[in-house]
Amino acid sequence: MIEGIPTSTHAPESSAVKYSASVMCANLGRLEEELEGLESAGCHELHFDVMDGHFVPNMTLGFDFIRTARRCCSLPCAAHLMIAKPEQYIDAFAKAGCVMITVHTEMCVHAPRTLSQIRELGLSPGIAINPCTPLSRIDYLLEYVDRVLVMTVDPGYAGQDIITNMFQKVERLKQIVVPRCPNVAIEVDGNINLPNAKRLVASGATILVLGTSSIFDGQHSPGESLTQFHRKLFLD
């Protein structure tokens, strides 16, 4: 189990950083084994990238897959909806077992209404923002959400290189969030390898979405990789 130990008096405490495992990167033939291993290693949640081939050029996980994952372990499920008209599917993802739903500001015509819809179902709402979308797009939404997800790559595919000015974007977001909504988490998704994770945590990220760049590398079990990732991030 991962222990929350700070590296120094100047570094963020590891207990303040959460790990969200990107299930689209898992070995689906060994899904139960991998998710059980992640739960035993101290992973905090499962991250489901839901894509419909419209907003992003890919199609991925849906309701049945989330239900399957829920039978494999007891980790909370967070849906990241990269889909057109997300407001039409909120109820369905709630019924599938998600306790957190994040929608993209680029796809929400009436974002406050959609985020309120998520909250009214007793779920945790989040807003996501693409790399080239200015932070001003979410300025009036912070009071509606529990997290802001900053995409550090263009969404759609795993294995991309990070867009380097996203470090500054996360730092700027922290400067906006902390005075106004200090309980809002800053989540990052895209090429979260160890060096990038260290810089992003230092910039203000508090939730790391981990995929092929970190825990699903195919060389070790995801649980073992998560333990090593945490140790190198905070303890080495």
What whole-number distance in Å separates Cα of residue 230 and Cα of residue 134? 31
pLDDT at 134 over 50: yes
Number of domains, the chain: 1
pLDDT at 218: 84
Find all residues with CB under 8 Å of 122, minimum gap 6, and list them: none
Minimum mean pLDDT range among 49-58, 93-102, 103-112, 211-220? 49-58
pLDDT at 8 over 50: no
Write out the residue range of the structural domain in which residue 72 sits.
14-235
Query: How confident is the model over 28-42, as a mean pLDDT?
Result: 96
What whole-number distance in Å separates Cα of residue 33 and Cα of residue 73? 9
pLDDT at 217: 87
Query: Is residue 58 domain-resident?
Result: yes
Query: Is residue 4 domain-resident?
Result: no
pLDDT at 34: 97
Is residue 91 among the annotated active site residues? no
Query: How confident is the model over 199-215, as a mean pLDDT?
Result: 97
pLDDT at 14: 66
pLDDT at 220: 93
What whole-number distance in Å separates Cα of residue 208 and Cα of residue 193? 10
Q: Which amino acid is at 150?
A: V
Query: Is residue 39 domain-resident?
Result: yes
pLDDT at 117: 97
Query: Is residue 6 domain-resident?
Result: no
Which CATH number characterizes residue 133's domain? 3.20.20.70
pLDDT at 4: 41
Placement of tokens 């500054």 in the chain: 168
pLDDT at 10: 34
Is residue 52 among the annotated active site residues? no
pLDDT at 59: 82
pLDDT at 158 over 90: no
Higher pLDDT, 55 or 230: 230
Query: Is residue 9 domain-resident?
Result: no
Query: Is residue 45 domain-resident?
Result: yes
pLDDT at 9 over 80: no
Q: What is the mean pLDDT of the chain?
A: 92
Q: Are strands 147-151 and 77-82 parallel, antiparallel or unpaired?
A: unpaired
Query: Is residue 106 domain-resident?
Result: yes
Query: How confident is the model over 168-176, as a mean pLDDT?
Result: 98
- 154, 161, 189, 236: the catalytic one is 189
pLDDT at 77 over 80: yes
pLDDT at 53 over 70: yes
Query: Is residue 183 domain-resident?
Result: yes
pLDDT at 159: 78
What whole-number distance in Å separates Cα of residue 64 and Cα of residue 158? 21
Q: Indicate the pLDDT class of residue 15, thresholds 50, 70 and 90.
A: low
